Amino acid sequence: MTTRPSILIADDDDDDRLFLQNAFDHHNFHDLAMFEDGTQVLKYLETTSVLPQMIVSDFNMPVLTGLEPIN
């Protein structure tokens, strides 16, 4: 069985990632993966065979915001 994070979080702001991690930890939910931008998320998703249950993404990020079409 492949283990994987249930939630992927993409946010370029360290404080926002910490806030989200603390909120999930407070509710005893620890299956998180944190990324600093959308390109890191895409690289991760391209290398895994099991998808997360949810992706939480900041749309105001440099490089790849999540609004661009993916080829």
What pLDDT is stored for residue 3 in this prediction? 57
What is the per-residue pLDDT across 29-67, written as a single tens digit (0 to 9) for each? Answer: 888 999 998 889 889 999 988 889 998 989 888 877 767
Helix, strand, coil percentages (3-state) for the chain, rounded to 5, are 30, 15, 50
Whether the per-residue pLDDT at 71 is higher than 70: the answer is no
Q: Model's pTM, two decimal places?
A: 0.78
pLDDT confidence bin for 69, thresholds 50/70/90: low
Q: Hey, where are the domains in the chain?
A: 9-57
